[in-house]
């Protein structure tokens, strides 16, 4: 079973969910704001993808942070603390399936490739 992680009102999440539904892929949606994000799960994401990839520095949440706080986010531990406190700052969507590499972000070609290799 696939799990799609993100935040329900995110436009990119909506595109990914629409793609999955159009291609009849069964999945479970995990909303960070509703379902939470425990530190063990976040650490698995960081171990697999790296904190730099997970930290969305292009989004509104990052841009709204004070520059002095942004400058302190320079390693996995500080990034994990920030992501735990503000899950909207995690790049999304994140698609996971047992035994497969995690797929971060969405575009149709990467999803097609991901599911053709299953």
User: What CATH code is carried by the domain that includes residue 22?
Assistant: 3.40.30.10
Mean pLDDT calculated for residue range 89-110: 94
User: Average pLDDT over the chain, rounded to whole?
Assistant: 95
pLDDT for residue 35 is more than 70:
yes
Strands (E), the chain: 2-6, 27-31, 94-96, 103-104
Q: Which domain holds residue 19?
A: 2-116
Residues 57-81: b if buried by 16+ CB within 10 A, e if exposed:
eeeeebeebeeeeeeebeeeeebbe
Confidence at 116, pLDDT banded by 50, 70, 90: confident
Looking at the structure of the chain, the number of domains it has is 1
- Residues annotated as catalytic are 10
Torsion angle, alpha carbons of 93, 66, 51, 17, to 10: 0
Mean pLDDT calculated for residue range 87-107: 94
pLDDT of amino acid 98: 87
Which residue, chain included where needed, has tokens 């035994």?
A: 99
């Amino acid at each position: 079973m696939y799990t799609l992680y993100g935040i329900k009102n995110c436009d990119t999440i909506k595109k990914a969910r629409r793609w999955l539904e159009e291609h009849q892929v069964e999945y479970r949606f995990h909303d960070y704001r509703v379902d939470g994000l425990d530190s063990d799960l976040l650490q698995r994401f960081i171990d697999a993808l790296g904190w730099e990839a997970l930290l969305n520095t292009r989004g509104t949440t990052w841009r709204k942070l004070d520059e002095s706080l942004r400058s302190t986010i320079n390693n996995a531990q500080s990034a994990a603390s920030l992501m735990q406190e503000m899950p909207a700052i995690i790049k999304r969507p994140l698609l996971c399936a047992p035994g497969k590499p995690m797929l971060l972000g969405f575009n149709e070609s990467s999803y097609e490739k991901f599911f053709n290799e299953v």
